[in-house]
């Protein structure tokens, strides 16, 4: 199992990155759903900055964010913590979702809007060029070709290095790849959520990075007597580490980006990159965990 991947063919990154979404404020008054909480700057900015800097110290070199996380505050936080960036640090962000209120995530793929948001991301991140710009969601109101074309224009202008897509099908990936090279796809995927197996296989065949969001999942690794916990006991690891290791073994193009606000959990997540599972353990994990 390799520990690094050439993102876009020219950016060597370790296969466990860091997703920054959880660094936003822990709650929004009046809303209970966790997805509503990605709205404000973190309550403890110093602690959030410390986690980002600790990630770099631990060797993490792929950081994923979005212009919609904290309405841009998340990108500003990354810049405050890591700018000026080391040469090996790769920043990925996303455009194409608007947040008029905490519970709302609305795709907006107007080409001019996508280009404007990329310009704002460049400013907040303090970058001259974004390493990986991803279309957060495909907007059905506009042709996919127009949305991908807007991102390609940014590449042609030298403002973006590589393009990625999020929550897309194989057919949409093929359509986008006919317009411009696609470096990554970011879909929901973990040991218990495997609805995008065909996308994983296509990405592997094409050398496209598959960045699973929600890589650990909420329940599959938390059952005390479940298969993930059993394997964790066998290898002397945590269930979360086993869940991440399963992803790394699943495909050589898999780049999990677990998020956390805890430095100790961060260290555990990074250490999962060195965890080796036997063929029998992988078989048991794949077969025994319910797939949704």
* Burial of 9 (C-beta count, 10 Å sphere; 0-12/13-18/19+): exposed
* 134, containing H or E segment: strand 130-135
Packing angle, helices 170-177 and 144-156, rounded to 10: 50
CA angle 67, 70, 72 (to 5 degrees): 35
Residues identified as active-site: 69
| Alpha carbon separation from 35 to 54, 72, 95, 187, 283 (Å, rounded) | 25, 16, 17, 16, 33
Residues ≥6 apart with Cβ < 8 Å to 131: 7, 11, 90, 91, 92, 161, 162
CA angle 262, 191, 242 (to 5 degrees): 55
Chain centroid offset of residue 160 CA: 17
């Amino acid at each position: 199992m390799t520990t690094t991947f050439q993102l876009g063919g020219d950016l060597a990154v370790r296969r466990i990155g860091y997703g920054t979404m959880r660094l936003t404020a822990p709650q929004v008054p009046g809303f209970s759903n966790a997805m509503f909480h990605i709205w404000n700057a973190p309550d403890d900015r110093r602690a959030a900055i410390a986690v980002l800097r600790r990630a770099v110290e631990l060797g993490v070199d792929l950081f994923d964010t979005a212009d919609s996380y904290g309405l841009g505050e998340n990108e500003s936080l990354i810049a405050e913590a890591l700018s000026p960036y080391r040469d090996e640090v790769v920043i990925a962000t996303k455009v194409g979702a608007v947040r008029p209120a905490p519970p709302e995530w609305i795709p907006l793929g107007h080409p001019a809007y996508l280009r404007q948001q990329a310009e704002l991301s460049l400013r907040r991140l303090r970058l001259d060029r974004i390493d990986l710009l991803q279309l957060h969601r495909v907007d059905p109101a506009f042709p996919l070709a127009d949305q991908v074309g807007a991102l390609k224009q940014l590449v042609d202008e030298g403002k973006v290095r590589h393009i990625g897509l999020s929550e897309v099908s194989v057919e949409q990936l093929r359509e986008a790849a006919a317009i411009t090279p696609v470096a990554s796809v970011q879909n929901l995927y973990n040991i218990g959520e495997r609805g995008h197996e065909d996308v994983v296989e296509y990405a592997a065949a094409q050398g496209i990075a598959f960045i699973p969001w929600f890589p650990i999942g909420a329940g599959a690794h938390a059952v005390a007597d479940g298969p993930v916990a059993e394997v964790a006991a066998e290898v002397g690891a945590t269930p979360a580490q086993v869940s991440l290791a399963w992803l790394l073994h699943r495909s050589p193009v898999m780049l999990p980006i677990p998020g956390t606000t805890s430095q100790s959990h961060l260290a555990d997540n990074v250490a999962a990159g060195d965890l080796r599972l036997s063929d029998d353990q992988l078989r048991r994990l794949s077969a025994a965990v319910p797939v949704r």
